Amino acid sequence: MNSSSTALLILDYLKNKRAVIVTNNGNAIGHSRDPHVELIITGGEIYNRKQSVVGEFALHTLSKITADKAFIGVGGISVKGGITTSVLQETAVNEMMMKRCQGTCYVVAGSSKIGREHNFLSGSIDQISSIITCKGADVDEIARLKESGIDIIELNGDE
């Protein structure tokens, strides 16, 4: 799970399931979670604006892990622009998380992020399997993403 505030919400949905979450999200430390969920922080340099952990130490930790699933929050995602973020230092962490995932790689994004391109590229859309978003995303971009083979999971916002 990367450092996005949307990805952090995944912890709210893990109830009565054993899971090991590896993250560079410093905010995960204080976030409530089920007692069955084990939390591992990558370590590294703290990027203060987002309380994310970045740098070579974080990358080294992630390089030693094989994940069954990855949850990547984004600044924007589109067929044309790929997976983008506003923080340059987080692109390498996002890339490593996607690379080390042997199962489903999810992008979690609010509807306003669909079709948007941000400053820094984390990867191409062919690196992900599914997008979890809420209703209200750009319908044309959703159609393009589906045509590209990406499964779109649209939540009502109260799920």
User: Tokens 């600044």, residue?
Assistant: 75
pLDDT tens for 31-46 read 999 999 999 999 999 9
What is the average per-residue pLDDT within 84-107?
97
Q: Quickly tell me which residue has 């590209």 as its tokens.
A: 148
* Entry pTM: 0.94
For 129-142, the pLDDT digits (tens) are 999 999 999 999 99
**pLDDT recorded at residue 159:** 47
Domain tally, the chain: 1
Using one digit for the tens of pLDDT, what is the confidence trace for 56-83? 999 999 999 999 999 999 999 999 999 9
Longest dimension (CA), the chain: 41
Q: How many whole angstroms separate alpha carbon 55 and alpha carbon 93?
A: 8
Supply the range of the domain harboring residue 52.
5-155
Question: What single-letter DSSP state applies at residue 86?
Answer: S
Q: What is the CATH classification number for the domain harbouring 37? A: 3.40.50
Residues 40/21, Cβ–Cβ less than 8 Å: yes
